[in-house]
Amino acid sequence: DYELCEEWGHLYPVPREDLINLHREHLLHLLEMGDMEKALQLLQRIEDPGVCLAISEQSLDQHPNLAASHFLADYLTAHFYASLTTARQNEIQALYIGSKVLLTLPELSRVNYVHLSSRPLLMLEQLLMNMKVDWVALAVQTLHQLLAGQEIGFTIEDIDNLLSKYAEKALNFPFTLKEKRS
C-alpha cells in the first residue's frame, strides 16, 4: 500500500505534508519490521533533502524501537549533521551513543534501560547503582571508542569522574570497626 501511494505521489500533485506523513509511516513500518536495507532505499529515493530531513527527524521523534532509533540517529548524523542545530546535533549524537551502549547489554535486560537511551551518562550511573559491573565495563569500553574526538555534552573525563565517585562510595564504610576484646 505504501508503494502504491508513493507511485500515486509521482503521478499526481500531493501536498508536501501528506507526502512527508506517507514516507514517515512507510519508514517506521520498515524499521519496525527490521528491514533496514529497504528503509535506507526509501530514504535514498526521496529527491528533496528537506523532505528527507523532515521524515527522518519526525520518525526519530516518535521513539521507535532501539534498532530503529540507532538507524535514524546514524542516518541523520551521516547525511544532515550540518543542517541541524547544535542542540539537536548533541541530542541525536547522545541517542546514537546511548543506543549503541544499550546494544552491548544482554537483550533481556535492555528493556530496563531503554528509557535512558538518550542519556548515556545517566544509563552508566544506573548500571553502577544496580551493581552491573560487567555491563559497566562493556559500556565504558564502548563509550571510550565512540567519544574519541566527539563532543555531545559529556566527555571521557565525565565518565572517569563518575566511576571514581562510585568507586569511592564502594569503599566508604558508614560505621567504624570495633576491636575484639577478650
Would you give the DSSP letter of residue 178? Answer: P
- Judged on CB neighbours under 10 Å (0-12, 13-18, 19+), 70 is buried
Task: Flag whether pLDDT at 179 surpasses 70.
Answer: no
pLDDT of residue 29: 92
- Work out the mean pLDDT of the chain and round it to a whole number: 85
pLDDT of residue 7: 78
pLDDT of residue 182: 56
Task: Flag whether pLDDT at 181 surpasses 70.
Answer: no
Helix residue ranges, H only, the chain: 2-11, 16-32, 36-45, 49-61, 66-80, 86-104, 120-129, 133-147, 156-171
Percent with pLDDT over 70 in the chain: 92
Taking residues 45-50, report their average pLDDT. Answer: 88
Distance CA 122, CA 55 (A): 29
The answer to whether 43 touches 75, Cβ cutoff 8 Å, is yes
Taking residues 13-40, report their average pLDDT. Answer: 89
Distance CA 170, CA 166 (A): 6
What are the C-alpha distances in Å from 37 to residues 30, 33, 68, 131, 174?
Answer: 9, 11, 12, 38, 55
Task: Flag whether pLDDT at 62 surpasses 90.
Answer: no
pLDDT of residue 103: 87
Q: Which of 6-10, 39-43, 54-58, 159-163 has the lowest mean pLDDT?
A: 6-10
Would you give the DSSP letter of residue 179? Answer: P
pLDDT digits (tens, 9 = 90+) for 108-166: 888 888 888 888 888 988 988 888 888 888 888 888 888 776 666 777 888 888 888 88
Q: Classify each residue of 32-60 as buried b or exposed e, where b means 16 or more C-beta atoms within 10 Å of its C-beta.
A: eeeebeebeebbeebeeeebbbbbbbbbb
Distance CA 9, CA 27 (A): 16
